Every structure is written in structure tokens, then in C-alpha cells.
């Protein structure tokens, strides 16, 4: 039996000043599942994540966590933001332990060890590189043992090599700790590398919901992997087969 929490979105709509960002979304995320949400920028994928976190309220529709209606902040979830959002005036260990009560230091230290930054515990965040900061942010999100981890383009600002490292780390921790993960990304390869299921959102609607049945850890030179990633990318970019052929012949 997988742990984590299930999450259900029922007919979600979200308006921002008369502009409809999400136009009726129905999605179910099973316990312990890793789901990636992809789409072009402005398609509403980040808004969806904010609704799941309880940071925004839907204009219409329901968010259910383990079958219960979400009201206010989603306490069983933790969000990892694109810009890390570490507190610059707190040492790294304290950043990880923020909001924890009681004897929090050993727990925070354990998480820092898991992300490989235990030796930097007593430094300021400003001395870390972008990738290291995101590792601290990941440790901070996981130290609370959330049932749902929400990842809002957490690797978007990192260079390609650091990104691959971080993907491995996220996958490893997800397999070890058994939480439900929702990853919003514009990187289709990243989605196929990490997710059990890839959801494509286009202009506020779900237009694709695809299971990825590849063995883990996934290798980028696997033919199935690259064909899946290619298919999804083409769908995102709305490249018709014919257009593609034309382009090749031209």
C-alpha cells in the first residue's frame, strides 16, 4: 500500500479579473503517484498547482485531499518554488527547519545529509549556487514529511547538468519516502524522466493524459523514452506530422 495522499480536482475553474485561466479541469492523483503537468507558459499549469496547495481558491469547482474538501492552505502538502525562496537571514540548517517544532535539528540535519549538503549547514544561503539552493529547498519541503509534494518548475533556472543531478535526487527521495508528487514543468524530457503520468494543459484545459510505463531509472538513450518524449513535445508544439515532413524535405 502506497502512502501519501490522494488529490482530486473536480471541475476546477479559475478566473483572474475576467480572464479564464482554467476552464473546467477534472483530474485525480492517486496516492504515491508521480504526475508531471506540462504546457506552454501561460497555459495555467502553475495556477493549477497553486490551487492544489491552497494558495489560491478556485472560482468554481472542488479540490479534495484524501476525499475531504480543501479549505484554505493544504496542510498535507509542501510546495517547492522555482526560485527556492530560502530565507536569506537564516542559516541553511534553520532554513530547512523553519516551522518545525520541538527537537527539529536532527531531522533537518538528516534531510540535509540526504541532499548532500550537511557540511554547509551553518552557512548563509547567499553563498550557495543555484543548484545547491534548490537542494536546500527540497530538503526543507521534505523535512515536514508531506503527503503531497508540489514542485513548481523547481529546476527551471538550473543549468542542464545540475538539472539532471536534481532529477535523480528527486526521484531517489520520492522512491525512498513515498509521497504523492505533482511536478509542473515546461521541460517535456524532465516530465518523461520522472513521472508515472504526464498531463498536458493547453489554454486552461487538459488535452492529454498519458501513462509512462517505462522502468526506472529511465535512460535517455532508450528508444521508447525518446519516442514518448518526442510525441509529447510534438503535441505541445502542435507539430502535425505532415508539417514536420515538409520541413524535412524543404
| Binding interface with another protein (CB under 8 A) | 53, 55, 73, 75, 78-79, 81, 83, 85, 87-90, 98-99, 124-127, 140, 144
The dihedrals phi and psi of 240, each to the nearest 5 degrees, come to: -75, 150
**Cβ atoms of 109 and 143 closer than 8 Å:** no
Nearer to another protein, 72 or 215 (CB): 72
DSSP codes of every residue in 2-61: --S--EEEEEEEEEETTEEEEEEEEEEE-TT-EEEEE--TTSSHHHHHHHHHTSS--SEE
Smallest distance from the beta carbon of 248 to another protein, in angstroms? 44
Nearer to another protein, 96 or 117 (CB): 96
**Cβ atoms of 166 and 154 closer than 8 Å:** yes
Nearer to another protein, 75 or 245 (CB): 75
Kindly state the cell numbers that stand for 148.
503531497
**Cβ atoms of 11 and 61 closer than 8 Å:** yes
Nearer to another protein, 38 or 141 (CB): 141
Smallest distance from the beta carbon of 244 to another protein, in angstroms? 40
Phi-psi region for residue 112, left (φ > 0), alpha (ψ -120 to 50) or beta? alpha
Nearer to another protein, 55 or 224 (CB): 55
Nearer to another protein, 4 or 232 (CB): 4
Smallest distance from the beta carbon of 56 to another protein, in angstroms? 10
Nearer to another protein, 39 or 54 (CB): 54
> How far out from the chain centre does Cα 220 lie?
20
C-alpha span between 45 and 127 (Å, rounded): 32
Smallest distance from the beta carbon of 126 to another protein, in angstroms? 5
According to DSSP, the residues that pair with 148 across neighbouring strands are 77, 180
Q: How many CA atoms lie within 13 A of 151 on its CB side?
A: 32
Smallest distance from the beta carbon of 80 to another protein, in angstroms? 9
Smallest distance from the beta carbon of 18 to another protein, in angstroms? 23
Smallest distance from the beta carbon of 227 to another protein, in angstroms? 38
Amino acid at each position: 500500500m502506497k502512502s501519501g495522499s490522494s488529490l482530486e480536482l473536480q471541475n476546477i475553474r479559475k478566473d483572474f479579473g475576467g480572464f479564464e485561466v482554467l476552464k473546467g479541469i477534472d483530474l485525480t492523483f492517486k496516492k504515491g503517484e508521480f504526475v508531471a503537468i506540462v504546457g506552454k507558459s501561460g497555459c495555467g499549469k502553475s495556477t493549477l498547482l497553486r490551487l492544489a496547495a491552497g494558495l489560491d481558491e478556485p472560482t468554481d469547482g472542488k479540490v479534495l485531499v484524501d476525499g475531504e474538501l480543501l479549505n484554505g492552505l493544504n496542510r498535507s502538502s509542501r510546495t517547492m518554488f522555482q526560485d527556492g525562496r530560502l530565507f536569506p537571514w537564516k542559516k541553511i540548517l534553520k532554513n530547512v527547519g523553519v516551522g518545525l517544532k520541538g527537537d527539529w535539528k536532527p531531522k533537518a540535519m538528516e534531510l540535509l545529509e540526504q541532499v548532500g549538503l550537511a557540511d554547509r549547514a551553518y552557512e548563509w544561503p547567499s553563498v550557495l549556487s543555484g543548484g545547491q539552493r534548490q537542494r536546500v529547498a527540497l530538503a526543507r519541503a521534505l523535512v515536514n514529511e508531506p503527503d503531497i509534494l508540489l514542485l513548481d518548475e523547481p529546476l527551471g533556472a538550473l543549468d542542464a547538468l545540475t538539472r539532471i543531478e536534481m532529477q535523480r535526487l528527486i526521484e531517489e527521495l520520492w522512491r525512498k519516502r513515498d509521497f504523492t508528487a505533482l511536478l509542473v514543468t515546461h521541460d517535456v524530457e524532465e516530465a518523461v524522466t520522472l513521472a508515472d503520468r504526464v498531463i498536458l494543459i493547453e489554454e486552461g484545459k487538459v488535452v492529454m493524459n498519458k501513462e509512462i510505463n517505462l522502468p526506472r531509472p529511465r535512460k535517455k538513450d532508450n528508444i521508447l523514452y525518446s519516442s514518448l518524449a518526442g510525441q509529447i513535445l510534438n503535441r505541445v508544439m502542435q507539430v502535425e506530422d505532415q508539417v514536420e515532413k515538409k520541413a524535412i524535405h524543404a
